[in-house]
Amino acid sequence: MSNLTNTTCPDPEQEQLFVGVYSVVFIFGLTLNLTALVVFFRNSKSRSHTTVYMINLAFADIILVCTLPVRIYFHGGLGLLNARICEFTGLILLSNMYSSIFLLMCISFDRCIAVCFPLSSLVREGRKKAWCVCLGIWILTIATSLPIYFQQKKDNTFITKHNVTCFGGVPEHATKRATLVSTLIVGFGIPLTVMILSSWGLIRAISKSTAVQTSDLVDSGRIKRMIITNLAVFLFCFLPYHVMLLLIYAYGHPCPLLTAYRYSLMIACLNAMLDPVAYYFTTETFRRKMEVETVRKIRQMNSHSSDGNNRSRAPLTS
C-alpha cells in the first residue's frame, strides 16, 4: 500500500517489468490456488488439521492476487485511478499478505507439534481448533486494516494526469514508528521466529527418529529439503519488504529506496504464486510417502526403540 503523495520515481522500463510480473503472479497464482482448493474440497474425507490452514491460505492468496489487476492497470498507464481505489486495494493486498504470513506460521507450527508429539492428547485436541485459529487470524488482519482505510477515505482526490502517485508513492502509514514496530515484531518477527523454531524441531525429530533413519518407506532427505524450501520461500518473499520499510523509516525516501521498496512489494506478491507449490504439492508428495498404515508401523517401531524416547517419532501425515 502507498499513501497518495507526489514523491515518486517513474521509470518506463520498471513499469513494464511490474506489469509483466504482476500479470504472471495473477494468472498462475489464481490458477494454482483455485486448483488447490478444488483438490482440498474433493478430498474432504481425508482432510487433516493442517489442510484447514492450507485452505485458508489459498483463499488469502486468491484475494491478494485479485487486487493485482488494479496494479497492472496503474503500472501500464492505462488511465486515471481514484484515490479511494488505490487505498482500498492496497489495504486488501497488505491485509491478505499478513494473513498469509500468519497462516504459514500456523502450518509450520502445526506440522512440528504433530511430528514431535504424535501421542499427546493435548496436542490432538489443540489441533482440532484449527478453524478457530484461522477465524482469529482473519479477524485480526481485518480489524487492523479497517481503521487505516476509513482514515484514508477522507482523501478522495484523483490521480494526476501523469498517473505517478497511488502505488508509486511513499508508504507513509507503514513507516510510522508505532505501525512499523508492530509490523516488524507481530507481523513478521514472531511468525519468522516460530517458523525457524518449528523447522528446527521438525528436522531434529526426523534426524533422531530411529524408525525414519532405518526405514526405506520414508525419504528423510526429501522431507528435510521440503522443510528448508518452505522456510527459504518465506524469507525470500517477505524479508526484503520488511527490510525496506525499516530503511525508509531510517533514511527517508530517496528514489533508490522507493524503487527498492516497490520491487520488494512485488517480490512479496510472488508468495501467492509460490505457496501452492511450496506447501500443497510438497505436502501431497509427503502424503504419498507416509500412508496411514506406514505411520502406524513406524509409531510401533519407535515405541519399542531402545532409547524409549517418546518424542523421537516419525513424521506424521499433516
Convert the pLDDT of each residue in 174-221 to its tens digit: 888 988 999 999 999 999 999 999 999 988 888 876 555 555 545 667
pTM > 0.85: no
Q: Which residue has the higher pLDDT, 84 or 164?
A: 84
pLDDT at residue 126 greater than cutoff 80: yes
- Strongest mean pLDDT among 38-52, 117-131, 152-166: 117-131
Percent of the chain scored above 90 by pLDDT?
41
Q: In this model, does residue 50 exceed pLDDT 70?
A: yes
Note the pLDDT of residue 295.
Answer: 47
Hey, where are the domains in the chain?
12-303
pLDDT at 129 over 80: yes
Question: Does the pLDDT at position 105 exceed 90?
Answer: yes
CA distances (Å), 276 to each of 31, 35, 62, 180, in order? 10, 9, 11, 29
Q: What is the predicted pLDDT for the residue at 263?
A: 95
List, in sequence order, every residue forming a beta bridge with 158; answer none if it has no partner. Answer: 82
The pLDDT score that the predictor gives to residue 165 is: 66
CB-based contact 293:259 (threshold 8 Å): no
Banded pLDDT at 300 (limits 50, 70, 90): low
Distance of CA 134 to the CA centre of its chain: 13
pLDDT at 103: 95
Listed ranges 67-71, 164-168, 312-316; the one with the highest mean pLDDT: 67-71
Q: What is the pLDDT of residue 45?
A: 63
Confidence grade of residue 283 (pLDDT, cut at 50, 70, 90): low
* C-alpha distance from residue 111 to each of 13, 219, 256 (Å): 43, 17, 40
| Better-predicted residue by pLDDT, 25 or 306 | 25
What percentage of residues in the chain have a pLDDT greater than 70?
74
Does 39 score more than 70 pLDDT? yes
User: Tell me, what's the pLDDT at 216?
Assistant: 52
Give the pLDDT confidence of 228-264 residue by residue, as tens digits.
888 999 999 999 999 999 999 999 888 889 999 999 9
Long-range contacts of 140-146 (CB under 8 A, 24+ apart): 140/102, 141/95, 141/96, 141/98, 141/99, 141/102, 142/95, 144/95, 145/91, 145/92, 145/94, 145/95
pLDDT of 293 strictly over 70: no
Across 12-16, 111-115, 250-254, least confident range: 12-16
Cell of 24: 504472471
3-state SS of the chain? CCCCCCCCCCCHHHHHHHHHHHHHHHHHHHHHHHHHHHHHHHCHHHCCHHHHHHHHHHHHHHHHHCCHHHHHHHHCCCCCCEHHHHHHHHHHHHHHHHHHHHHHHHHHHHHHHHHHCCCCHHHHHHHCCHHHHHHHHHHHHHHHHHHHHHHHCCCCCECCCCCCCHHHCCCCCCCCHHHHHHHHHHHHHHHHHHHHHHHHHHHHHHHHCHHHHHCCCCCHHHHHHHHHHHHHHHHHHHHHHHHHHHHHHHHCCCHHHHHHHHHHHHHHHCHHHHHHHHHHHHHHHHHHHCCHHHHHHHHHHHHCCCCCCCCCCCCCCC
pLDDT tier at 121, thresholds 50, 70, 90: confident
Count CB atoms within 10 A of the CB of residue 315. Answer: 24
Q: How much is the average pLDDT of 88-101? A: 93
Yes or no: domain 12-303 corresponds to CATH 1.20.1070.10: yes
